[in-house]
Every structure is written in C-alpha cells, then in structure tokens.
C-alpha cells in the first residue's frame, strides 16, 4: 500500500509535468534534486545504536506556481555500527520515501525564497542485535510518519538552485520515535 502511494505520487508529478503544461495561468515546471541529509534520531535506549545518520536523498517535483510545489523523495541512510565494550554488537540503518508540499515566500533579493513544507512519508528502521543475549535478533519495521520543515532556497538562474532545510519527522515506531534532520542540496529545473 505504501509503495503504491509513492508510485502514485511520482505518477502525478510526471503527469503534471507533461510538456510544461499550463495550469491556472502558471507554467508547471518539473525539477529533480539531490540532497545530503544529517538525521538525529530519537531511538529507544534498549536499542544501543548510534543516533545520528548520514543519508542521501533524491527527489523529483513540480513547481505548480511561483509559490508552491509538490515533491516525491527517497532517502537512504548509511549503516551505523555500535560497539559495546569494544565489541561490535548493533547495526542500524533506515530508509524513507514519501511526498511533500512546499510553499515559497520570495524575500528581498531576486532568487531568494523562504520555504515551508508538510508531508507524509514511510520510514523503515532496521536494527540487528548481535549480542550474546539476543543472538542475531533483528528489528525491521515500516511506519508511516508526518514531516514539517522550514528552510531557504536560492535560485542561481532559471535552472539551478541550492536549498537548505531543517525538518522534524514524527515516526512513532517502537524503535524510533522521531527524527530531526538538516538537509542541503541542489535542484535542476527543466
């Protein structure tokens, strides 16, 4: 169901982008982006894993007007290894995908925008416990969460832009309650 939601969102983005269609007197412009994401996860203490993750994210979106866009994304973290008393015991990683709506507020100089976003995402957290007590146990769960964010974007020209966002994501899973994230990336508008 959740993968179907993501695919439906991606299909909507591409359908709206066909030939930069006119929509309510605004040109609909597709874009693609790449982001670096630093995540600080609120993980329960029983999972003795490191709580900060470095991730990469790819996203595709559509500018609906000068003030709004919709964006689908996929994010994958690197695997973190935690050691207890110098012995490797826990490995953890997560991935997420979803859909965000953005609002743009042009500020001062040409090309500078403040951003706000709201969205929904599916998060998958995986923790492997290699300790002697729970030998090779594994926690691997999907959970749908909600996201809000604030940031800024600078448009260098009509095609290239740089973006920085701070985001809070409520996951509510057994292992991971929420995430606080900082993203930095680039966008290319077609």
pTM: 0.80
What is residue 87's predicted lDDT score, i.e. its pLDDT? 64
C-alpha–C-alpha distance, residues 190 and 32, integer Å: 8
Q: Report percent pLDDT > 70 for the chain.
A: 78
Residue 161 has pLDDT above 50, yes or no: yes
Q: Which residues pair with 55 in a beta bridge?
A: 37, 77
What is residue 140's predicted lDDT score, i.e. its pLDDT? 79
Residue whose entry in the numeric block shows the structure tokens 């030939």: 19
What is residue 138's predicted lDDT score, i.e. its pLDDT? 75
- Residue-by-residue DSSP string for 66-89: SSEEEEEEEEEEPPEEEEETTEEE
Residue 16 has pLDDT above 60, yes or no: no
Under DSSP, is residue 175 helix (H, G, I), strand (E, B) or coil? coil
- What secondary structure letter does DSSP report for 20? G
What is residue 21's predicted lDDT score, i.e. its pLDDT? 47
Average pLDDT over residues 121-125: 93
Q: Residue 53: which residues within 8 A CB-CB, separation 6 or more? A: 37, 38, 39, 41, 77, 78, 80, 93, 94
Domain 2-189 has CATH 2.40.160.20: yes
Mean of the per-residue pLDDT values of the chain: 84
Contact predicate 99/70, CB 8 Å: yes
Identify the CA nearest to 38 among candidates 171, 183, 148: 183
Confidence tier at 169 by pLDDT (50, 70, 90): very high
Q: What angle do CA 37, 41, 43 make, to 5 degrees?
A: 155
Confidence tier at 18 by pLDDT (50, 70, 90): very low
Under DSSP, is residue 64 helix (H, G, I), strand (E, B) or coil? coil
C-alpha–C-alpha distance, residues 58 and 141, integer Å: 22
Using one digit for the tens of pLDDT, what is the confidence trace for 32-45?
A: 999 999 999 888 77
Residue 9 has pLDDT above 70, yes or no: no
Q: How many CB atoms lie within 10 A of CB 45?
A: 5
Q: Residue 87: which residues within 8 A CB-CB, separation 6 or more? A: none
Q: Residue 143: which residues within 8 A CB-CB, separation 6 or more? A: 122, 123, 124, 125, 171, 172, 173, 176
C-alpha–C-alpha distance, residues 28 and 39, integer Å: 31
């Amino acid at each position: 169901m959740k993968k179907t939601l993501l695919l439906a969102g991606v299909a909507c983005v591409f359908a709206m982008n066909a030939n930069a269609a006119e929509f309510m007197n605004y040109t609909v412009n597709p874009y693609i982006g790449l982001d670096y994401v630093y995540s600080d996860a609120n993980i329960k203490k029983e999972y003795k894993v490191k709580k900060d993750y470095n991730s990469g994210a790819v996203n595709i979106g559509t500018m609906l007007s000068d003030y709004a866009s919709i964006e689908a994304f996929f994010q994958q973290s690197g695997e973190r290894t935690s050691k207890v008393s110098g012995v490797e015991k826990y490995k953890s990683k997560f991935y997420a995908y979803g859909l965000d709506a953005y609002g743009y507020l042009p500020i001062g100089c040409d090309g500078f925008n403040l951003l706000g976003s709201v969205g929904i995402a599916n998060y998958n957290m995986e923790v492997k416990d290699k300790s002697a007590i729970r030998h090779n146990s594994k926690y691997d769960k999907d959970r749908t969460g909600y996201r809000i964010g604030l940031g800024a974007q600078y448009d260098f020209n009509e095609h290239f832009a740089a973006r920085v966002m701070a985001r809070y994501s409520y996951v509510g899973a057994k292992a991971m309650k929420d995430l606080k994230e900082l993203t930095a990336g680039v966008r290319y508008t077609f």
